[in-house]
Amino acid sequence: MTIGIPKEIKNNESRVALTASGVFELRQYGHHILVEQGAGKGSGISDVEYEHAGAEIVTNPHDIWARAEMIVKVKEPIDEELRLARAGQIVFTYFHFASSITLTEAMIGRGAVCIAYETVEKPDRSLPLLTPMSEVAGRMAVQQGARYLEKPVKGRGVLLGGVPGVPPGRVLILGAGIVGVQAAKMASGLGAHVTILDINTDRLRYVNDILPPHVVTQYSSQYTIRKLVQTHDLIIGAVLIPGAKAPNLVTRDMLKTMRPGTVIVDVAVDQGGCVETCVPTTHENPTYVIDDVLHYCVANMPGAVPFTSTLALTNSTLPYIINIANKGWKAACAHDPALMKGLNIVEGKVVYQGVAEAFDLPLHDVVEVF
């Protein structure tokens, strides 16, 4: 199969959908890989490295879209890309269709086979292509939080690890899922005192088993949160209710009860945030202050560490890419129920319930497209 890897064109997106090692692996199966010139630059992968691995470097993205039977990307197609997708062409990427009618209508119109990373779902309901980015964001939340707790950038002026004779900083984590546990791991590693909340007691048991004793688990409730925000330096929002907006666990009136310079990192911002005062920000302008509380609400945190994120993402996507390339999308989906769940729009037909419901579009049974 001919596989195309265009350069990402979304603002500040430096990740790339395939590494040189991924190219090498696909070449072993006899596939032909087209990589757009400079596509890997932001992630530290040069054109020469891709060529050595067996890729053909293509200067014009139009040629890639025209020649490839499968396009593999990181972010959803935008601008001109929306007009380049072809009928029957496989497009494998993060789509997040339910958040954009423009994208949904465009991809229906193009007749491509759209397989969305974010809806590939294993039988245990885990999301294998979302997990690596949650792991990155969870770890980064502590790194960013520690930085913004410094006084010159309007934080309280607290060193998370403390020093001998001085107590460590206190980190409150809302949600003990992928993001929450990774954040707890980092914060406890720095020596901070960590409190982590969830409504799922199995998750709290898991955290209690695997993390050190200075990570304290507590059942999440409005009452508990209201009390804890007053005594913690860094608050990390990491809740998720699948398919719904994140609940407002930290309300506006709570800000006044926090100590000046408290830092909130609301990782759940991409689902509307779990802090009432959360507004999406960007890497160029990541923070704002309300009631002396510093908010960091960047919606694409992994984009800031592309060297790490590209590898983390492609470690997870490569087995699926190989499978689709070897078998074709129909056989690959038929043999793998997780990948089947990734089918969102197939040759103009919406086959994913969440997308049909979001825009009141007809939902086609996935068997219709086989």
Ligand X SMILES: NC(=O)c1ccc[n+]([C@@H]2O[C@H](COP(=O)([O-])OP(=O)(O)OC[C@H]3O[C@@H](n4cnc5c(N)ncnc54)[C@H](O)[C@@H]3O)[C@@H](O)[C@H]2O)c1
Q: To the nearest whole angstrom, how small is the minimum distance from the Cβ of residue 196 to ligand X?
A: 9
Would you state the structure tokens that stand for residue 162, as one six-digit string?
Answer: 């403390």
Q: What is the largest CA-CA distance in the chain?
A: 68
Closer residue to ligand X in complex, CB, 16/55:
16
Task: Give DSSP secondary structure letters for 13-48.
Answer: ----S--HHHHHHHHHTT-EEEEETTTTGGGT--HH
The CB-of-97 to ligand X minimum distance in angstroms stands at 15
Residue 4 sits at φ, ψ, to 5 deg, of -110, 135
Dihedrals phi, psi of 283, to nearest 5 degrees: -65, -25
Restricting to residues 168-227, which ones interact with ligand X according to CB under 6 A?
Answer: 174-180, 197-200, 203, 220
Task: Give the count of residues interacting with ligand X (CB under 6 A).
Answer: 32
Task: Please check if 75 is assigned to a binding site.
Answer: yes
- Min dist CB 21 to ligand X, Å, is 24
Q: Which of 145, 247, 261, 306 binds ligand X (CB under 6 A)?
A: 247
Task: Indicate the residue among 61 and 175 with the shorter CB distance to ligand X.
Answer: 175
d(CA 19, CA 131): 19
**At residue 281, what are phi and psi to the nearest 5 degrees?**
-125, 175
User: What does the alpha-carbon distance between residue 284 and residue 354 come to, in Å, rounded to a whole number?
Assistant: 32
- Is 43 annotated for ligand binding? no
Q: Cβ distance 233 to 159 under 8 Å?
A: no
Q: Does 232 bind ligand X (CB under 6 A)?
A: no
Asked if 74 interacts with ligand X (CB under 6 A), we say: no
278-337: contacts with ligand X (CB under 6 A): 299-302
Give the other-Cβ count within 10 Å of 44's Cβ.
14
- Contact between 241 and ligand X by CB under 6 A: the answer reads yes
Tokens of 242: 């699948």
Closest separation in Å from C-beta 206 to ligand X = 10
Q: From the candidates 32, 96, 292, 364, which is the catalytic residue?
A: 96
* Structural contact between residues 331 and 90, judged by C-beta atoms closer than 8 angstroms: no
Q: Which CB, 23 or 355, lies closer to ligand X? A: 355
Q: Are 77 and 55 in contact (CB under 8 A)?
A: no
Q: Is there a catalytic annotation at residue 96? A: yes
Q: Which residues are annotated as a binding site for substrate?
A: 15, 75
Catalytically active residues are: 96, 270
Binding site for NAD(+): residue ranges?
Answer: 134, 198, 203, 220, 239-240, 267-270, 298-301
Question: Contact residues for ligand X (CB under 6 A)?
Answer: 133-134, 137, 174-180, 197-200, 203, 220, 238-241, 246-247, 249, 267-271, 299-302
